[in-house]
Structure 1
């Protein structure tokens, strides 16, 4: 960029001349003082890079410069451009303002709280608004108008939105149209270059078929952005993706330090993480690499000026409100790692990422043979940013076929169901918060159940053995083999009726409680926390169903739960029973996938929770349908229905997770 062009640029936040930093996701340029505040916001709010001292993909830098030149800052300061804002006392910072509190308060309001962004008219259904915005984004990315797409993204459009009619995502459209800057913008907001359209094609395939080879190669680089950044941090080199080399894994020169029992235990624990947990850890380490690199650039460019003070240092990763407190604490602890310790962790993550993707490539049948000819055995050093302690060399692989294919690191099917389950849990939790007394009600009910269980134990010893029987809606019968059959043994649908039980029986975690004659005869289910695991005839079976089948059934369960949620939100209690029957049917089909006696204790516990929760759900829905309860009672019934639905979703998620993990192993 020429000096004359640079001289016309001003800081987007305070208008200081010749800004030297850029916020990649906001599309603006900022001065040193304002950058010190941006760095404290965290990458989830602002991703900062130095214009000349940081490493930039050329097209990404071009994307930021285009946004800045086309007035992207007006998106974040929309209301300040209104003449009435000066009357209300709103104004942006200026170069003479103090960093704290003046510039700090303005920048936090601008980028964290989005206080000056244009707001859409309030609508009852936010999801419809987001869907409409995402469809507009889907159409806009075929053009070169970056600021329009950034505005849509700022309002809530989803970069990974899958268009139900078109059968693809915005990144597919941008790739087909050859809009490389649009692809850069979408990637900054999380678009997945490995996403599949309805025909099983990725955006990379779209770009290649349309003859946009440069864009296709850039999308491959974006796909491996995380591992490439970690490698570059250690040795200042990047894999040669054009020739099929997708990983460079350095090694510590003094590998003896890695032979300790503590190091071995740490590596074993890393390898035992689920795909989701490993992905989260890798993203956190990526953020820490970015913090350390930016710190180094910051100290270099400030030349020990007055800006280098405790108030401008970012000692650890800022809190991300979207993450749990446990995860945020773990992210901050990464700053305590020495250069050697952190380098070892990065190498372990690169190694595990390669192994995990190799496993995924084997399962999917992806052809990775062309990668076997591209192993490089140079011995690069750490760059000055990463460490000044030990040189590293790239790992020498005995099995050259272990280089990876173009597939993503994660299992896409697993991530899709994870997203659906996460959204379902969030909605259920929101409904649970409607009644602040729910936990107390549940505690009282649990206390009552414990009391009844004690009475049952007494009755069991008082009842003659020969009179043990179970009375159901079709009369008395003796259970097969002296025990109750589980619902996933019989394959029958979950139907629950008022029962009178003269002896305690249990069905996969649900205890049918017998009551004395002066107590209500409706049967009261007990969760798996209180149940005794039933004995099932036959040998233990270690066989688990196909992951795809479990995910398919889980999606059906989640779909039915969402239908039940809508009925609860709209107070359509007459819809509870039909919804519960669909859920029970889906649960029955999912449970039938598993063996009668799984050898895995985790699978058994999850199946117990799944089936018992479905049984309880059906009983609660019958109360709403048959007894016409008063408003206060129907509210309690609704809360119980929500809790049961939550338990079902939780159990289904556990089964997906354990099945995926076992099948991958």
Structure 2
């Protein structure tokens, strides 16, 4: 994957800072706007990849960054560096220029027409010039000077040049010398890792003989890059080349979430279409495979492009690449066939990709058929007809639209029952129906849709959490101040002092005056998130204070429980004084503490002091907050250490109380406190996956963990309340 870029990097074409895309074969970094023009040129002119949202081979990314930092852009803008170019009116695009026509025309001239590249002196024999350049390339790749080799390639040197005297290619030389970046650059320009030299050895062989095993493994990956990319597009997996697995033909087991339809006999037309693909000559089959590879790249790049753009300011003209751009080196027939690939829907295109993967594996392993003359366009038409025919013969509904959440929970329909294929089965071992191909692509489409939904939900939750954390910090500061005030009042109020009647007008006026003299919390003003009232508890509204409401329905259950914890943490210390409870809006006029309504409060001089209980409660609350953060950040490995610390803090708090308290309320709160701590440990242990068994349902485990933590906080709050009331009576 890509490394984090430096802030000093600018777009090679218009100098906008912090470019997010790279042109691999040009060795430059480009911005979003310029990238839209690069994409319209086609892969034969510029091969673009996103720096952070596209998986990169590390050595290829290092090659691009080395070229960029060493001035590769000067190769493509050579004549613009000449002061005379300013006098002639030639200039580079700048950030203020419009995309069309200013930037687009400059980029086309720079990369498509090579208008600013240094030109070699004219010679009568162009072939000898190319041969001389290729020989220079052959000599240069043994060094680490990448920009020199890129300059030679830009002038016409051939990456697959076979040196008549040396008997090998530049890639053989780079592999033998262990020049990884040179090998990456050569293969980007089409060098063949499997080409033999005069002794029958390939660049892969030379890399292994030189002890460059990582380079040899990378060259093997490059050798199978086309089929690897097609397989990854369908099922998100790549072959394990190190263990001798060089092909993955996607199968029904790759979907993992549904049962497959029973096998149906292929129609005659479908069989004929597949037979035509198998009967293509190797040359025509390679052309078709390369065109499909380019279409896969176009579709995947479009997906990354749309995912990384600011859709509120998205400009349509910078995003539309409706089909593969014309390659002037190809015939008009082939260019037309390439553009027709964009018309294939997901099912049709998946069918073609799987057929190509199957036949590529068959051709690699031998068993070649006769190779009559045929063309690519005929195969494309046959595949489209095959799709239509199978859809009619099987009489199955069209699953091209994205299924709803309810649909994904049901098995797909089947006309002859359901069956499951093993992971190591191969589509080339027997006939495969179009319906099965459709099922594969449908499952992938559903998965992609659910991923997008989850990403959107995750962004919403992240915004909620940031708001919660901000409010939490302000409330913690407020509660610290309140705790100090409560502690002072406990020791300063003379014994025997009567509390004023809270329902009297003077008491109400004093409460309003006190509230006006300090910052209002979000619970009192009604702003921000409202406290959550557990089921069965009754809110106690006070005049001037909004009635507490439950969370809006779009907040998930897990984070509702998290809010309960935060609410408990905010109010724990403020429960230490009855009058403070009323001024905070937790007690109504003439009411007692909600949790202790209708419960006996028999005097018990053996209870610990309020300060000791509050101090232990703060330790419990601190550990609960740490557990909550771990749940929010999906750090499930932190559950067990957090639960152990909570258990220790709970044990210390329980030890403050007598073994057999007189009050049933105290005994009930202590039982809830200790039992919840033990249950929390058990739930946290479930987060650790067992060896060989199925993984735990982390969503359920997280909800249970937070519920236990909430019960602990609630019990601690009750004990603070009880001791405060007992010690102030």
TM-score (norm 2): 0.50
Change (3 A) 1:162 1:11: same
Q: Deviations over 1:317-351 (max 9, x none)?
A: 00000000000000000001111111111000000
Looking at CA atoms only, which structure, 1 or 2, has the larger radius of gyration?
2
| 1:133-212 paired onto structure 2 within 5 Å | 133-212=133-212
Residues 302, 308 of structure 1: 8 Å contact kept: no
Q: 1:287 aligns with which of 280, 294, 297?
A: 294
Give the drift of 1:55.
Answer: 1.7
> What whole-Å deviation, never above 9, does each CA across 1:140-182 have from its counterpart, x for those lacking one?
0001110000000000000000000100000000000000110
Q: 2:362 touches 2:368 (CA, 8 Å); kept in 1?
A: no
Partner of 1:297: 304
1:96 and 1:117 mapped to 2: Cα distance?
25
Q: 1:178 to 1:262 in 2, by over 3 A?
A: same
Q: Provide, for residues 194-238 of structure 1, a one-character-per-residue CA deviation record: whole Å limited to 9, x for no partner.
A: 111000000000001111000000000000000000001011110
Alpha-carbon distance change, 321 to 396 in structure 1, aligned in 2, over 3 angstroms:
same
Superposition pairs for residues 524-603 of structure 1, below 5 Å? Answer: none
The equivalent of 2:8 in structure 1 is 8
Residues 24 and 201 from structure 1, CA distance in 2 versus in 1: closer, same or farther, beyond 3 angstroms? same
| 1:613-633 deviations in Å (ceiling 9; x for gaps) | xxxxxxxxxxxxxxxxxxxxx
Q: Distance in 2 between matches of 1:192 and 1:64?
A: 20
Structure 1 counterpart of 2:425: 396
* Aligned CA distance change for structure 1 residues 249 and 395 (closer, same or farther; 3 Å): farther
User: TM-score, structure 1 length as denominator?
Assistant: 0.54
Instruction: Name the SS for the 1:7 alignment partner.
Output: coil
- Note the 1:321-332 alignment, pairs <5 A: 321-332=328-339
Alignment pair present for 1:336 and 2:343: yes
Cα drift, residue 272 of structure 1: 1.0
Counterpart of 1:307 in structure 2 is 314
Q: Is the 8 A contact 2:358 2:428 kept in 1?
A: no
Structure 1 residues 337 and 54 mapped into 2: Cα distance closer, same or farther (>3 Å)? same
Partner Cα distance (1:255, 1:10) in 2 = 55
Question: 2:7–2:18: 8 Å Cα contact kept in structure 1?
Answer: yes
Question: Structure 2 CA distance, aligned partners of 1:20 and 1:254?
Answer: 43
Residue 81 (str. 1) matches residue 86 (str. 2) = no
Find runs of 4+ consecutive structure 1 residues off by over 3 angstroms.
252-258, 386-395, 397-400
Unaligned runs of 5+ in 2: 253-259, 370-399, 413-420, 430-729
Q: Is the 8 A contact 2:205 2:216 kept in 1?
A: yes
Q: How many residues align?
A: 376
Residues 215, 20 of structure 1: alpha-carbon distance in 2 compared, 3 angstrom cutoff: same
CA distance in 2, matches of 1:73, 1:395: 47
Task: Tell me how far 1:304 sits from its aligned partner.
Answer: 1.3
Query: Cα deviation per residue 1:505-543 (whole Å; 9 max; x = unaligned)?
Result: xxxxxxxxxxxxxxxxxxxxxxxxxxxxxxxxxxxxxxx
| Residues 321 and 399 of structure 1, relative CA distance in 2, 3 Å threshold | closer
Counterparts of 1:235-254 in structure 2, within 5 Å, are: 235-251=235-251, 253-254=260-261
Aligned residue number for residue 615 of structure 1: none
Distance change >3 Å, CA 25–CA 16, structure 1 → 2: same
Tell me by how many angstroms 1:393 deviates: 8.3
Q: 1:271 aligns with which of 267, 278, 300?
A: 278
Classify 1:286/1:395 alpha carbon distance in 2 versus 1 (closer, same or farther; 3 Å).
farther
Distance 2:271 2:312 in 1: 44
Cα 1:43–1:355 change in 2 (3 A) is same
Question: How does 1:125-524 map onto structure 2 within 5 Å?
Answer: 125-251=125-251, 253-254=260-261, 259-359=266-366, 396-397=425-426
Q: CA deviation at 1:87?
A: 0.4
Tell me the CA shift for residue 262 of structure 1. 3.4
Q: For the residues of structure 2 that align with 1:180 and 1:31, how far apart are their CA atoms? A: 27
Aligned residue for 1:59, secondary structure, equals: helix
Seen in structure 2, the aligned counterparts of structure 1 residues 67 and 387 have a Cα distance that, compared at 3 Å, is: farther
2:484: which partner in 1?
Answer: none
Q: How far apart are residue 191 of structure 1 and its match? A: 0.2
Q: Is the 8 Å Cα contact of residues 249 and 426 (structure 2) preserved in structure 1? A: no
Q: Which moved more, 1:251-260 or 1:161-170?
A: 251-260
